Structure 1
C-alpha cells in the first residue's frame, strides 16, 4: 500500500506512560467470531419472481438472491395524499434512501358504507403500487383489517363495528366472511403486481398490535393466501404479547420505537420507558409503544425472538400531537433512535411515518377520537406526523439526517446485516445515568463498526472526555483506537468503522469518521466519509501509522491498492455530509452536493428549494473532466423557475376576536385526559381572512405558512375545513396547490384559532406554553417552492 503525498502527517502515538498519566476512559469489549447461522424454517409465500430473483430470510437478516439485504422502509398512506402527487413524493422518498414503501389499506377509506367500495382517484391502490414499482421501489402492504394509524375505529368501517361488535378481530365466521370480501377487493387491486408476477409487492402485514389468540392471525394469513395475496414475506407487529403462542416461522415479528408518544396518559415529558429507546440493548420489544391500548408494562422478548432477524416497521419518523399531548420533535430525536436500533442489531429500518398526509373526506370524521370510544383525540384532518416528508411534501431536517444514514446502509448494508451486535458490560444503570458512554459494536470478529449515541431527547448528555476503544477480537487480536483519547461531544451520534477491506489489499484498520458511500470508476474507487464534529479524523491502514485528515471537498488521501488501482478517501464536513446525495444519473452512480431537495427522474435532475441560495448543485464524478471543480465536484448550472423566491407576507383581515377560553372536559379513559373541542366551540375562536395576490402561481407549488398561538387552529376554504392543528409551537403549513383553483376564483380562505389558557390540562413544550390565555395569528406567509431541472 502506498500513500500519496496529499495525506496529512501521521498522528504521534501516545506512550504507555502518557496514557496512564492522562487517565483516559478505555471502553472495552470482547467480540467472538460469529458462528455459522443455523438453518430455520420460515413459512414464506412465493419467494421467486419471473426474473429469477429470490427474497428469503434467515435468523440474521433478509436475503436477496442469497445475499444479505438491508432495505430501508418508509410508510406513506396513499389515501392521505392526492394521487396527482404520488409519483413526485415517491421519488422524494427514493432520493432520501427509501427502498420499500409501506402503506396501510384502511378498510373505512374504501368501504365506509357497506357495499359501496371506492378504489378510484386518491383511493386507487393499484395506481399507487404501480407507480412505486415504476420508479424502483418495493411495496409492503399492511392489510389489517384492523390497522390503527389514528383512523376512526382503527380503520374498521362503522358498519363492521356495529354489526360485529366484540366479534370483530376474532375467528367469528360472519366477521371473517366480511374480511374475505375486503381482502378479495385488495387482491383485485394488486393482481399482477405481486413479487411472483414481476411486481413490487414483497410483503403483507397481518392485523396490527393484536393481543388475542394466535389462531386468528393464522386464519387471516390463510384467508389472505386463499384470495391470492401471495408474497415472500408475511409479518406482524412484534408487540403486544399474544394470548396463545404462534408457531415459529408463520409471521415475522417486526418491532418499533418512538422518541416520545402522543398516546400516554401522563402529562409529563418523556414518561415511562421512552429513554430506553436511546440506549443500546439486545432487547427488541419496546414497552413505550401503545401504552394507551396496552397499559404500562415491562418490555420482554418472546423465547424464540433471536431465531428471527431484528426487523422494524415502526421507528418513529416523527410524531403526531394528540389533544392532550402536544409533542414537538427535534430532528436529532429521530436520527438517534434509528442509529441506536442499528447499533443494537436492527437489519430493517422501517419508519412510521416517513411521509405525512391529510385525512380524506368521508361521510363521518375519519380520525381517532374519544367520541368513538378510542383513547385519544387526533386532528380531524391533519396527519403530518412531523415526518421527514411533511403532509405538503416539505423536506424536514431529519430527512437529511436520515438520508446520511441511508447512504451508508445502501452501500454497506449487506456487510452490516451479517454483523451481530455486541454490548459492553458497563451500560447506563438507569434513565438518570447520563455519565456512562452509550456504545455498541457490530462485528463478526474481524471487522465492524462502533456505534456511539451521546444524545437523548429532552435530556442533555454531557461530553465524554478521554475515550479510546479497546476491542478484543478472536485469536488474541486487540484493536485500540483512536491513538490518542478523544472527547465524544455532547448530544452527538456517530458510527466508526474498523477492520474493513476497502479495496484489494487495502484494509482500513480504523477511522474516527463516519462511512457514507462509495463510487467505482473503472478500476478506481472513491470512498466518502463524514467528519465527526469536534473529533480529529484519524485513519489507519494496513498496520501503518495513522494519519489525521482534514475535511474538505477534495481528496484527503489516495492509496494504491495491490492491483495498481487507486483508492481515494474524501472526508466531507458535517454540514456537507447533510447535503450529500447519491443516485444513478446519466449512466453511472454519482454523488451530488446540494442543500436543495434533489430528485433524479430518468435523465433529468430536479432541484427544489425555498431559498435562491440553495439552488446550486455539484456532481462527482464530473460530467466534464476539463471543467472547473470545487474539490472533486463539478458545479452545474441551475436556473430557478422564477426570480421571486422570498416568502411573501399576506394581509390578515380580522373577522372576529376570541371569546373566553372554554372549560376543557375530561374523557372516558382511566385516567381521563382532555377532550378536543367540538365544532360548536369554534364560535369562540378568533378568525381572520387572508388576502392573496392575484393569480396564484401553480408552478411555484405555493405553501401557506402560519405562525400562531392558541389551542386549536382551523383553515377553511369557503366553508370547507381543509386543515386543522393542535398547537405545539410549530408553524402550520398548507399546500395551496390543492386549493389554488378555488382561491383564484375568489373563494375566501379563513383561519380560526381557539384561545388556549395557560393552565390547560395538556402537555406542551415549556417554551411554547403561553403565560396567559391567547388566540393570536402572528403571521401568514406565501412560500414559493421552486423547481429547476438540469
Structure 2
C-alpha cells in the first residue's frame, strides 16, 4: 500500500493539479527500472525521495517485455509490479509511460524488432497495429492490478506514446484501449513539445534542455536553449526531437503548431503548465557530446518555476545501463535508422543520480528547490505568474544585459524570481542596484528595502509577505525559503523556518510592524516595518529569534547538505556530508569516505549503526539546534590502481558517417585500440556495498571488458566528454579478481570533428589516463538507540 493511503482525490484543473481539494505541485523524476539492476532499485528510489521528489516516471519498453511475439517477460529487472510496489514503500507516486513507442534512446524507439519487421502503419490507428498494442497494454496493465491510485496504490498517471506530433486521434485511441484494459488513473498525459497536436482528453506535458546531443556538430549551442534560462510564457520547444521528426517522419516545423479545429492542442491558458522532461543532465552521442553542469540543471529548473510551471518533471533523474537483448545492445544507432549513434551500454545521462548510484551536486541543488515545493508548493501552484525583464526571443542578443525577473503571486503574497545565470557559453553579467516594486492587491512591496547587487551566475526566489507565525509576516527577504519544522519534535512546538542565503548577497529580513529580534542582526524601523540585517555569515548555527519562531539562515554549502526525512518516527532535518535517505524509518548513509558526519534536528537521544561491515557511530556533542555524530567506516574510500598512462592505439579505425542525416558514426572496430590491463586485488572489492572503477582519462571511445563465462564481455563504454568514466565492478567481482579488467581505448583526434564542450576541447590528440581508482562505497543504516535494530 502506498504511503499516502487512504486514497485522496486527484484531478486536473485549468491552472494546476489538485489533491484532496488542495493545489498539488508534483515533482517527478524519470527512473527506468529496466535499466537498473533490481537490487539497486530501493537505493535509487530512496535517493529520489530524499531529493524531494514525490513521484517517479518510468518507460515500459515494449522490446524488453515482448522480445518475441507473445513471449511476455515480467521477471527480474523487468518486474514492473515490484518496482511500483517499492516506489510506494518509499512514499513515491508513479507515472507509467506506457508507450507503445517510447524513444528514450532505445533501439527502434522501444519497438521490438519483430514488430518493426512487419508491414504495419505503426503509431496510427491501423487495426493490425492496434491489435498488438492491445495485447501489450493488457499485459502491462495486468501488472498494475491493485496498484492504481483508485486502489490506494501509487500509480497516479499514465503517459501515452511519446513525441507523437500529428496523430491526436491515435493518442485518444490509446487512452481508450488502456481504459478498456482496466487502467483507471486520474492523470493522463502526452508530450506536447514540437507543436504536437494533443487531444483534449490528455494533458500536454513539456520539455526543456540546456543542450542536446541531437544537434549537429556545427551547433555551438542550440538556438532554442537560451529561452529556458529566461522567465517566459513559452512552453514549447521545437528543437527537442526535431532530428527524429525530420529523419524518421519527414516533418520540419516552422511555427508553434497550435492551430485550430478538431484535435488541435489546447491553448496554453486552458491547461496547467506541466513538464515531464526538464533536463536532469544530458546524454551524449558520438558526434556531439554536451557537458551540462549541475548549475545549468538547477538554474533551468528554477526558471521554469518562475515561468509558471506547476509540475516539475525531470529526464533523467537517475541514469541506467542500456539493455542487451536478442539482437544485441538496445540503444538507438545508425544501424537501426536513427540519426545518432549513442553508447552501447551507458545511459548515465549526467543525471542527479548516476548510472551506478553516484549522487551528484545537482541532486543537492534541486533538493533545495524541492524542499521549498514540499513546504509551500500548494500556495505556489495557485499563484499567477507575471514575467518581466528581458526578451522572450532566444536570439535577442541585446537582452543579455537586462535584469530578468518574474513574480508569482496570489494577490496577497508571493515570490520574486531573479536570475543572472546562463551557461558558460553565453554568460550573463551581474546586476547592480537591484530593487523591484511588487504590486499586490492591497499594497506595493519594495524588494529588497534597499538596492542590492546581484552577482553573475545566480538564480533566486525571494519571498514576499511570507507568514512566519501567527501575526508575524516576513514582508520580504534576500534569502530563499527552504522548509520549516518543529524544533523539539512536539506538535505545537516552536518552529524553525529555514532560509538559504545567496553568496555575495547580504541577508536582509523585513518584518511587518515593530518586531523584537534576538541573535546576530541589527534592527532598524522603516515605514512601519522592522528591517533586520544579518551581521555574521550564514551557517548551521546562524539563528534569528523572533516572536513564536526561529529563523535559521544557512549558507550555500550547508544548504546542499540539508535533507528533510521521515526517520526515527518523525520528520527531521538532517545535515550530512554523505548522501542519505530514509527506509522504513531508518537513516541510510551511502559514503565513499572513511568518515562522515550526520547532524539531526530535532535529535534522538543517540544513534547506532547496523551494517555487515565495520561502522562506528560516535557522538560529537550538541549545539544550539543540532546534535552531531561521526560515522566511521574504515573500509570506504579510494584505492589507486594505476596512474599516468599514455597507451598508444596501433591502428585506430578511420572515421565514418552514417544514419539518415550523415553524422559521424561510432567506431565498432576495436581491433586496433590501445589495451590497458588492470589487475584489481580482492581486498579492493571486498567489505563494501559497491566498488566503482573510476577512470580519469582523455581519448575518444573506451570500452571496459571482463571475462565472464569464458568470453570477454563489454560491461561499460564511454564516449569521452570531460567527465570521469565510472564502471561498476560489484556484479563482476569474482571475474575481476580472477582476470582483471581490460580497457580498450581509442585516441582523441580533433580532426575527426567530434563536438565536445569548449571547456575540454583543447586536449591533445592521443590517449592519456591520468588515474584509475577503485571507489569503495559503504552502506550504513542508522537507528535511534531505543528503536529496533535496523536490518540491511
- Output the TM-score relative to the length of structure 1: 0.89
2:525 corresponds to 1:570? no
Is the counterpart of residue 688 in structure 1 residue 676 in structure 2?
A: yes
Correspondent of 2:757 among 749, 757, 765: 765
Residue from 357, 363, 374 that aligns with 1:399: 363
Partner Cα distance (2:74, 2:542) in 1? 53
Contact 2:465 2:473 in 1 (8 A): yes
Q: Would you say how many aligned residue pairs link Structure 1 and Structure 2?
A: 725
What does 1:583-622 correspond to in 2, within 5 Å? 583-613=565-595, 615-622=596-603
- The worse-fitting range, judged by mean Cα deviation, of 94-103 and 427-436 is 427-436
Correspondence for 2:8: 53
Work out the CA distance in 2 between the residues paired with 1:84 and 1:259.
32
- The equivalences for 1:197-216 within 5 A come to 197-216=151-170
Residue in 1 that maps onto 2:745 = 753
1:328 counterpart SS class: coil
Is the contact made by 2:68 and 2:112 (CA closer than 8 Å) also made in structure 1? yes
Aligned equivalent of 1:541: 511
> Are 2:420 and 1:454 equivalent residues in the alignment?
yes
Indicate conservation of the 8 Å contact 1:126/1:189, yes or no: yes
Using the TM superposition, name which of 146-155 and 656-665 deviates more: 656-665
Does structure 2 retain, via aligned residues, the 8 Å contact 1:110–1:119?
Answer: yes
2:691–2:728: 8 Å Cα contact kept in structure 1?
A: yes
Q: Equivalences for 1:282-361 in 2 at 5 Å?
A: 282-294=233-245, 295=252, 297-299=254-256, 302=265, 304-361=267-324
Give yes or no for the alignment of 1:369 onto 2:354: no
Q: Deviations over 1:733-779 (max 9, x none)?
A: 012111113223x1331101112212122211234335543133332
CA contact (8 A) 1:267 1:325 kept: no
**Matches of 1:586 and 1:645 in 2, distance apart?**
25
Give, in whole Å, the separation in 1 of the partners of 2:670 and 2:358. Answer: 29
Q: Cα distance 1:97–1:716, how it changes in 2: closer, same or farther (>3 A)?
A: same
In structure 2, the partner of 1:711 is 700
Asked if structure 2 preserves the Cα contact closer than 8 Å seen for 1:540 and 1:547, the reply is yes
SS of match in other structure, 1:144:
coil
- Asked whether 1:724 is paired with 2:717, we answer yes
Cα contact 1:203–1:232 (8 A) shared by 2 = yes
CA contact (8 A) 1:450 1:496 kept: yes
Matched, 1:185 2:139: yes
Equivalent of 1:129 in 74, 77, 84:
84
Supply the distance in 1 between the matched residues of 2:314 and 2:759 (Cα, whole angstroms): 28
Q: Does the 8 A contact of 1:202 with 1:233 survive in 2?
A: yes
Which of 1 and 2 has higher RCO (CA within 8 Å, sep 6+)?
A: 1
- C-alpha distance in 1, partners of 2:769/2:645? 10
CA distance in 2: counterparts of 1:756 and 1:716, whole angstroms: 20
CA RMSD, aligned part only?
2.1
CA 1:653/1:752 → structure 2, altered by over 3 Å: closer, same or farther? farther
Does the CA contact (< 8 Å) of 1:661 and 1:757 recur in 2? no
Partner residue in 1 for 2:629: 636
SS at the partner of 2:163?
A: coil
Matched, 1:479 2:445: yes
More strand by share: 2
Q: Secondary structure at the match of 1:207?
A: coil
Report deviation, 1:287. Answer: 2.4
Q: 1:216 to 1:711 in 2, by over 3 A?
A: same
Question: Mapping of 1:239-258 within 5 angstroms?
Answer: 239-242=193-196, 246-248=198-200, 250-258=201-209
Report the Cα offset of residue 700 of structure 1: 3.9
The partner residue of 1:701 within 690, 696, 699 is: 690
Residue 150 of structure 1, aligned match among 100, 105, 111: 105
Q: Hey, what's the Cα distance between the residues in 1 that align with 2:28 and 2:340?
A: 27
* Alignment partners' CA distance in 2, 1:771 and 1:414: 49
Judged with a 3 Å threshold, the aligned counterparts in structure 2 of structure 1 residues 171 and 781 are, in CA distance, closer, same or farther, namely: same
Q: Deviations over 1:507-532 (max 9, x none)?
A: 11001101000003432211000011
* Residue of structure 1 in register with 2:491 after alignment: 522
Q: Is the 8 A contact 1:655 1:688 kept in 2?
A: no
Change (3 A) 1:420 1:644: same
Q: Which deviates the most, 653-662 or 629-638? A: 653-662
Secondary structure of the 1:638 match is strand
Displacement of 1:190 after TM fit? 1.0
For residues 194-251 of structure 1, what are the alpha-carbon distances to aligned partners after superposition, in whole Å with 9 as ceiling and x for unaligned?
1112211111100100022211111111011111122111100012334xx5543x00
- Deviation for aligned residue 1:788: 2.8
Q: Separation in 1 of the partners of 2:237 and 2:438?
A: 29
Shift in alpha-carbon separation, 1:449–1:137, aligned structure 2, 3 A: same
Q: Deviations over 1:165-206 (max 9, x none)?
A: 4x0111111110011111111012111211112211111100
2:212 match? 261
Note the alpha carbon deviations across 1:442-501, whole angstroms, 9 max, x for none: 0011110011121111222111101111112234x2111212211111111111000122
CA contact (8 A) 1:555 1:568 kept: no
Structure 2 residue 664 is the aligned partner of structure 1 residue 674: yes
Matches of 2:351 and 2:7, distance apart in 1: 36
Between the aligned partners of 1:655 and 1:337, the Cα distance in structure 2 is 39
**Unpaired segments of 5 or more residues in structure 2?**
246-251, 259-264, 514-528, 607-618, 783-792
Question: Contact conserved, 1:698 with 1:737, CA < 8 A, in 2?
Answer: no
Cα distance between partner residues in 1 of 2:650 and 2:542: 64
Determine helix, strand or coil for the equivalent of 1:743: helix
Question: Which stretch has the larger CA shift, 250-259 or 296-305?
Answer: 296-305
In structure 2, distance between residues paired with 1:300 and 1:212: 10
Distance 2:123 2:177 in 1: 14
Normalised to the residue count of structure 2, the TM-score between the two structures is 0.88
Q: CA deviation at 1:50?
A: 7.9
Whole-Å separation in 2 of the counterparts to 1:780 and 1:531: 38
1:752/1:296 CA distance change after superposition, 3 Å: farther
Q: Which runs of 5+ in 1 are unaligned?
A: 1-48, 561-565
Provide the secondary structure at the position in 1 that maps to 2:752. coil
Q: State the distance in 1 between where 2:449 and 2:646 align.
A: 68
Compared with structure 1, are the counterparts of its residues 755 and 425 closer, same or farther at alpha carbon in structure 2 (3 Å cutoff)?
A: closer
Cα separation, 2, equivalents of 1:297 and 1:594: 49
Question: Which residue matches 1:442?
Answer: 408
Partner Cα distance (1:373, 1:63) in 2: 42
